[in-house]
């Protein structure tokens, strides 16, 4: 005969147990908990007040922003400008289509069981840029042309990041393969390219592209500032991407190369079928990390006078018609960036779990 | 090595075209065939060039470009604006990316000579001033001995300030910030007694204070900042077009021709008005413009006074008095040569 097992002492389980174990287990934890609790209590209240309770959300003019809280009305009134820049009102449907397609291509990637989601992804990487290339600048099929000087806001940020990311990955992969090549000339060129571009800050690249390059070009060969910035970003980013991919290539055991050769595969088939698929999956976190940092780095185009979302906000927060709306503007920009960067990082975690590259199991 | 050689070859070819291709094209013809004027503006300076709610550029510098577009095309919308940072502005003009630089740029001897540029006139006479807290009880800059001054780094403002205090034999503590927004936060937080900047911007900065009436702008002006449009050197025709677009606006104000009455004024008996609006004479032709270029400018953009009032005048948030920018006949120095 055995006694029925007793529950553990009340202090050890449930909420009390958890609190004791995690928050008050030793004197310094008690101090830290109290300090943290104090900070939370004193800051959350005013923050909530500022963001929601006393904030102005509706109204028509600057005069409606009289409350103590944030003036979100300003963001609301300028939202169109922050998203589309100077893109003509009547043609903004084109950008809306692009936003829609972007969502269609990438939203399924977050849903594990979505049918044919791979094809949506492939569309996002091939069809989407192609449609964008036709739709956004116009000038094709009777679409009215919109010069790049009228692009701006969130749309421009996304274009810069998307094109940068899309072009940098293949170029970077080629450079990484070239750097590990047996052919001395190719290897030398790749090393020089990578090291030169990696050794300069993006801000310098952009500055050169915008200030120096036009002086070297002959009259009339004036290609647009956006184009110059984009090429700069792509070249710079692909050097970084090359190093990330090289990390993956180096992590592949030599046996894989030898096994592939033993099967009679030539260089291209060996690389394409055996090495790259393994190498790229290994470095997904690194690749996404580079993308996230590029996405944020696009704000540097501010210094060459392109109105990305940060530039658009900065150019309008000085409007004397409104009271000081600097904080609201920057909070809005931070929020936009957080959404995209958080999305990217979630996606990479998702992918990693599925591909199981951490060798956890 | 091969790569480097081909680079040299490319550079040589480019240099060759640069030398030969420069002389031929006239900017006015280029602009006409392109269908719009390319205008360089700031990336957002209240009253001078800033995008409004609908993403349209507004401001006195913007209107100066629109007047040129109106003169050439009869429409103020045929302008493409390129926002430029202070560092990029001259390169953009030199390289031909823009036709006019209308970007709050001070006319100085160095810029007029060594940069290969020409200033076509002055659309705003600015000068450096001081914003002080009312609590300080100061009403003249000469009482500022020993004051702490908030300034923006790397501007001529900083140099002017040092010059001013040195010549007056006074001391000051500079408190240097990176952007003008930061200077105003520093001022608002009480970290300095005085904020200095161009007077046209002081009003805008003051409006960002919690209580704008707690600070006053001192009457002293310690530097000359004539701001105006700039064009490339070497194309006199275009230089004249830009110059006379502004002169036409100033003359229109002097002659009392406004956006509202410009149509009636066409039948005016005054020969000066007739020449300005192109009802007599061939003034436009001499510039390579349509005869009624003056009429088009006033009709679409207005005269100088209207342009001023709309963008920076007393009824705008900037609330700047005409001051130096009043016509010469009203106590200012705004003066344009006659259309004749």
pLDDT tens, B304-327? Answer: 999 999 999 999 888 888 989 999
pLDDT given for residue B72 in this prediction? 95
Q: Is it the case that residue B87 has pLDDT exceeding 60? A: yes
pLDDT > 90? residue B257:
yes
Q: How far apart are CA B45 and CA B49, in angstroms?
A: 5
Closest CB from B47, B51, B181 relative to A326: B181
CA distances to A159, A200, A338, A346, A359 from A335, rounded to whole Å, are 18, 29, 5, 16, 34
Neighboring chain B residues of A326 at a CB cutoff of 8 Å: 181
User: Cα separations (Å) of A131 from A84, A147, A359, B54?
Assistant: 18, 17, 39, 27
CB-CB neighbors (< 8 A) of A78 in chain B: 53
What is the reported pTM? 0.83
Tell me where in chain A the CATH 1.10.3720.10 domain(s) lie. Answer: 77-87+146-355
Q: What angle do CA B277, B282, B283 make, to 5 degrees?
A: 60
Nearest to A211 among B88, B96, B207 (CB): B88
CA–CA gap between residue A149 and residue B34 (Å, rounded): 15
- Which residues on neighbouring strands pair with residue B176, listed in sequence order? B151
Domain ranges, ordered by start, for chain B: 12-125+227-330, 128-223
B88 closest CB neighbour out of A210, A219, A324: A210
Q: What confidence tens digit (pLDDT) does each residue in B1-34 have?
A: 444 444 444 444 444 444 444 445 799 999 999 9
pLDDT confidence of residue A225: 83
pLDDT at B18: 44
Q: Would you place residue B334 in the very low, low, confident or very high pLDDT band (cuts 50, 70, 90)?
A: very high
Distance CA B197, CA B210 (A): 19
C-alpha triplet B43, B45, B46: angle, nearest 5°:
140
Q: Does B179 touch chain A if contact means CB atoms closer than 8 Å?
A: no
CB contact under 8 A, B44 and A315: yes
Residue listed under structure tokens 């979505």: A114
Reduced to 3 DSSP states, what percent helix, strand and coil does chain A have, rounded to the nearest 5?
A: 75, 0, 25
Residue in B11, B51, B96 nearest the CB of A222: B96
CB contact (8 A) between residue B51 and residue A303: no
pLDDT at A360: 53
- What is A97-156 written as a DSSP string? HHHHHHHHHHGGGG-TT-TTHHHHHHHHHTHHHHHHHHHTT--STTPPP--GGG--HHHH
Per-residue model confidence as pLDDT tens digits over B164-185: 999 999 999 999 887 777 788 8
Q: Is B128 helix (H, G, I), strand (E, B) or coil?
A: strand
In A117-176, the residues whose Cβ lies within 8 Å of chain B are 147, 149-150, 152
Supply the DSSP symbol for A5. Answer: P
* B81 at interface of A, judged by CB pairs closer than 8 A: yes
For the segment B94-111, the average pLDDT, to the nearest whole number, is 90
Q: What is the pLDDT of residue B249?
A: 96
Q: What count of Cα atoms within 13 Å lies in the side-chain half-sphere of residue B119?
A: 20
Residues 36-55 in B contacting A (C-alpha not used; CB under 8 Å): 43-47, 50-51, 53-55
Does the pLDDT value for residue B133 go beyond 80?
Answer: yes
Q: In the prediction, which pLDDT does A150 show?
A: 86
Residue of chain B minimizing CA distance to A324: B208
Contact map slice: A 34-73 vs B, CB within 8 A: none
The pLDDT value recorded for residue B3 is: 44
Nearest chain B residue to A66 by CA distance is B210
CATH number of A77-87+146-355: 1.10.3720.10
Q: What fold is seen in the domain B128-223?
A: D-Maltodextrin-Binding Protein; domain 2 (3.40.190)
- pLDDT interval class at B96 (50, 70, 90): confident
Check if the beta carbon of residue A298 is closer than 8 Å to that of residue A164: yes
Given the cut 0.95, state whether the ipTM is greater than it: no
Q: Is B327 on the interface with A (CB under 8 A)?
A: no
A348-357, B212-221, B222-231 — which is least confidently predicted? A348-357
Q: What is the pLDDT along chain A (361 residues), one digit of tens a residue?
A: 678 887 777 777 778 888 888 888 888 888 999 999 999 999 988 888 888 888 888 877 777 887 778 888 888 888 999 999 888 888 889 999 899 998 888 888 777 777 777 788 888 888 888 888 888 888 777 788 888 888 889 999 999 999 998 899 999 999 999 999 889 999 999 999 999 999 999 989 988 888 788 777 776 666 788 888 899 999 999 999 999 999 999 999 999 989 999 999 888 999 999 999 889 888 888 888 888 899 998 998 888 888 889 989 988 888 888 877 888 899 999 999 999 999 888 888 887 777 765 555 4
Q: What is the pLDDT of residue A221?
A: 63
What is the 3-state composition of chain B as percent helix, strand, coil, each rounded to the nearest 5? 45, 15, 40
The answer to whether the B12-125+227-330 and B128-223 domains have the same CATH topology is yes
Query: Which residues lie closer than 8 Å to A152 by C-beta, 6 or more apart?
Result: A81, A84, A85, A86, A87, A306, A307, A308, A311, A312, B55
Would you state the pLDDT for residue A357?
55
* Cβ–Cβ gap A219/B96 under 8 Å: yes
Give the right CATH number for B12-125+227-330 from 3.30.413.10, 3.30.70.100, 3.30.750.24, 3.40.190.10: 3.40.190.10
């Amino acid at each position: 005969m055995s006694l029925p097992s007793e529950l553990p002492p009340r202090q050890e389980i449930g909420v009390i147990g958890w609190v004791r174990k995690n928050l008050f287990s030793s004197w310094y934890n008690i101090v830290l908990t109290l300090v943290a609790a104090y900070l939370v209590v004193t800051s959350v209240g005013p923050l909530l007040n500022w963001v929601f309770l006393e904030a102005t959300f509706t109204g028509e003019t600057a005069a409606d922003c009289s409350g103590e809280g944030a003036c979100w009305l300003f963001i609301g009134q300028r939202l169109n400008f922050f998203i589309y820049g100077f893109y003509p009102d009547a043609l903004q449907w084109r950008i809306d289509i692009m936003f829609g397609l972007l969502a269609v291509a990438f939203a399924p990637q977050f849903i594990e069981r979505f049918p044919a989601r791979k094809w949506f992804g492939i569309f996002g990487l091939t069809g989407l840029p192609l449609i964008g290339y036709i739709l956004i600048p116009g000038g094709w099929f009777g679409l009215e042309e919109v010069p790049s000087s009228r692009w701006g806001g969130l749309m421009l940020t996304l274009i810069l990041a998307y094109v940068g990311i899309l072009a940098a990955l293949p170029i970077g992969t080629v450079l990484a393969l070239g750097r590990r090549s047996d052919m001395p000339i190719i290897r030398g060129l790749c090393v020089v390219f990578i090291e030169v571009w990696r050794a300069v800050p993006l801000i310098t690249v952009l500055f050169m592209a915008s200030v120096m390059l036009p002086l070297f070009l002959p009259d009339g060969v004036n290609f647009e500032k956006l184009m110059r910035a984009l090429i700069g970003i792509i070249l710079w980013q692909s050097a970084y991407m090359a190093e990330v991919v090289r990390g993956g290539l180096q992590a592949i055991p030599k046996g894989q190369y030898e096994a592939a050769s033993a099967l009679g595969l030539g260089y291209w088939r060996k690389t394409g079928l055996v090495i790259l698929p393994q190498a790229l999956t290994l470095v997904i976190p690194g690749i996404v990390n580079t993308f996230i940092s590029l996405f944020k780095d696009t704000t540097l185009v501010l210094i060459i006078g392109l109105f990305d979302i940060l530039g658009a906000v900065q150019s309008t927060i000085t409007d004397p018609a409104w009271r000081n709306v600097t904080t609201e503007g920057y909070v809005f920009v931070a929020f936009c960036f957080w959404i995209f960067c958080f999305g990217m990082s979630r996606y990479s975690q998702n992918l990693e779990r599925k591909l199981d590259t951490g060798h956890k199991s | 090595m091969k790569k480097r050689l081909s680079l040299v070859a490319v550079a040589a070819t480019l240099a060759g075209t640069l030398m030969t291709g420069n002389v031929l094209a006239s900017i006015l013809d280029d602009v006409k065939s392109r269908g719009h004027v390319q205008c360089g503006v700031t990336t957002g300076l209240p009253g001078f060039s800033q995008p409004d709610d609908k993403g349209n550029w507004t401001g006195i510098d913007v209107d100066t470009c629109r007047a040129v577009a109106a003169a050439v095309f009869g429409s103020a919308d045929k302008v493409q604006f390129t926002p430029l940072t202070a560092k990029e502005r001259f390169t953009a003009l030199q390289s031909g990316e823009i036709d006019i630089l209308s970007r709050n740029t001070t006319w100085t001897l160095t810029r007029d000579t060594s940069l290969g540029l020409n200033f076509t006139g002055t659309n705003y006479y600015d000068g450096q001033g001081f914003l002080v807290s009312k609590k300080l009880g100061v009403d003249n800059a000469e009482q500022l001995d020993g004051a702490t001054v908030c300034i923006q780094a790397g501007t001529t403002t900083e140099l002017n300030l040092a010059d001013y205090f040195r010549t007056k034999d006074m001391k000051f503590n500079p408190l240097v910030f990176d952007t003008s927004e930061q200077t105003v936060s520093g001022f608002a937080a009480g970290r300095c007694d005085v904020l200095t900047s161009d007077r046209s911007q002081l009003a805008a900065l003051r409006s960002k204070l919690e209580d704008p009436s707690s600070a006053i702008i001192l009457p002293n002006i310690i530097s000359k900042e004539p701001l105006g449009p700039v064009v490339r050197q070497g194309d006199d025709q275009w230089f004249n077009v830009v110059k006379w677009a502004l002169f036409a606006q100033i003359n229109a104000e002097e002659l009392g021709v406004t956006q509202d009455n410009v149509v009636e004024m066409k039948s005016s008996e005054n020969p000066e008005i007739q020449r300005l609006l192109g009802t007599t004479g061939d003034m436009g032709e001499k510039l390579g413009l349509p005869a009624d270029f003056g009429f088009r400018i006033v009709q679409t953009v207005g005269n100088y006074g209207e342009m001023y009032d709309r963008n920076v005048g007393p009824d705008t948030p900037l609330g700047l008095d005409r001051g130096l920018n009043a016509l010469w006949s009203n106590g200012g120095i705004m003066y344009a040569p006659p259309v004749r």
